[in-house]
């Protein structure tokens, strides 16, 4: 008997995970933490590359351990007849297949949706790709920054001099992992009503574009093209901006609404600054300069303490070591320790959803490659 998740709202759902790297594995980890039985399937000769990404502890990648917990691991040569046979036997028992190969790869192996549905008409295939299954870019290679570049997000990210590379993989996660989870759950609900599975095309470039809903909505209907630092919420307002403090640390000032800005002006002893919040370029530049000068007179934490009782949307910009110690995040149980067969205790980010009736938590650490091959014995 192999291990199974013991709690969570997705208990009873079986997912075959053919994905690699970040977008697919994080999506399936989220669902595994929520109780789905996720079976990670890897080629024994060419496994998920993330297993070998530094930093390493011994032979174990911390990146791999961070996004593959609560899963089972089996190895199958899907190019062989026997591997295909066992895969389709698993398809008969599964609800969802998640993959992250470029269009055409599964077709070449003969394990694409059209073949799989012959074995299970209720199977759902969710394909996470950079550009989707049709269109001029469908066969292009790409990574997170490429998708952000095509979507317009990088064009608006940075300062006036140049765009910048974001600190995390926005397209991979916001355009890949989370949309894939939404796609899985929506397809499951559709199957509940129709009795049929389906193929879902999740293109990261497409799915990241709603992050620009307001900016693109404005351009598409007015023809006015904003530039970096011009959008109101991206540097175009002094009262919604970032400021350096006396100790070289930073604060985020988000006093967008008048009531919050009035509170900021009161805290600073500058009631005459209240009318200066208007997003007029000349006024914004001058107010940014004045705010920067005054925020340099105290440390970050001194400003945070001053602002705390005033409720004015002023917060610290935390470094990673400070995030780990943050009181609120710890009260929200956003960090979790899981046991790994070889690593021991591994600390990571907890699953973020709080269910009142079907609580969920990680079941175990990321599996060793082929750790659960015993479940293939009955196929």
The SS3 assignment for 139 reads coil
Which CA distances in Å does 171 have to 98, 150, 167, 297? 17, 11, 12, 38
CB 220 within 8 A of CB 142: no
Catalytic residue among 114, 172, 311, 333: 172
Tokens encoding 153: 């997000």
Cis omega (within 30 of 0) for bond into 55 = yes
Which region, left, alpha or beta, applies to residue 7 given φ > 0 means left and ψ of -120 to 50 means alpha?
Answer: beta
Sign, CA dihedral 32-37-38-42, equals positive
Angle between helix axes 23-33 and 178-194 (nearest 10 degrees) is 60
Separation CA 5–CA 35 (nearest Å): 5
Residue 355 · residue 330 · CB < 8 Å = no
Distance CA 96, CA 27 (A): 12
* Cα(155)–Cα(163) distance, integer angstroms: 6
Contacts of 123 (CB under 8 A, 6+ apart): 91, 94, 95, 96, 97, 113, 116, 117, 197
* Residue 77 annotated to the active site: no
Residues annotated as catalytic are 172
């Amino acid at each position: 008997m192999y291990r199974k998740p013991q709690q969570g709202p997705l208990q009873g759902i079986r997912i075959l995970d053919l994905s690699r790297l970040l977008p697919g594995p994080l999506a399936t980890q989220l669902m595994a933490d929520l109780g789905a039985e996720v079976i990670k399937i890897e080629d024994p000769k060419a496994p998920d590359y993330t297993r070998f990404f530094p930093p390493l502890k011994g032979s174990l990648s911390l990146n791999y351990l961070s996004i593959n917990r609560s899963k089972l691991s089996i190895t199958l040569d899907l190019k062989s007849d026997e591997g295909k046979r066992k895969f389709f036997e698993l398809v008969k028992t599964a609800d969802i297949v998640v993959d992250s190969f470029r269009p055409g790869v599964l077709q070449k192996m003969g394990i694409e949706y059209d073949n799989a549905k012959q074995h299970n008409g209720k199977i759902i295939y969710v394909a996470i790709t950079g550009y989707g299954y049709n269109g001029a870019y469908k066969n292009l290679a790409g990574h997170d920054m490429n998708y952000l570049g095509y979507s317009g997000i990088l064009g608006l990210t940075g300062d006036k001099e140049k765009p910048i590379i974001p600190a995390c993989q926005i397209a991979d996660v916001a355009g890949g992992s989370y949309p894939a989870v939404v796609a899985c759950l929506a397809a499951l609900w559709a199957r509940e009503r129709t009795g049929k599975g389906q193929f879902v095309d999740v293109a990261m470039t497409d799915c990241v574009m709603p992050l620009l809903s307001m900016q693109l909505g404005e351009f598409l209907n007015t023809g006015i093209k904003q530039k970096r630092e011009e959008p109101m919420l991206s540097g175009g307002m002094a009262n919604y901006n970032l400021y350096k403090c006396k100790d070289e640390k930073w604060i985020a000032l988000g006093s967008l609404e008048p009531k919050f800005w009035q509170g900021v002006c009161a805290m600073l002893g500058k009631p005459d600054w209240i009318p200066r919040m208007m997003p007029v370029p000349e006024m914004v530049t001058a107010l940014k300069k004045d705010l920067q000068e005054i925020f340099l007179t105290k440390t970050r934490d001194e400003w945070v303490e001053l602002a705390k009782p005033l409720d004015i949307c002023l917060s610290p910009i935390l470094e990673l070591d400070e995030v780990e110690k943050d009181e609120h995040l710890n009260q929200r149980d956003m960090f979790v320790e899981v046991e790994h067969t070889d690593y021991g205790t591994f600390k990571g980010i907890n699953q973020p959803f709080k269910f009142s009736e079907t609580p969920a938590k990680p079941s175990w650490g990321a599996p060793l490659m082929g750790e659960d091959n015993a479940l293939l014995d009955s196929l």
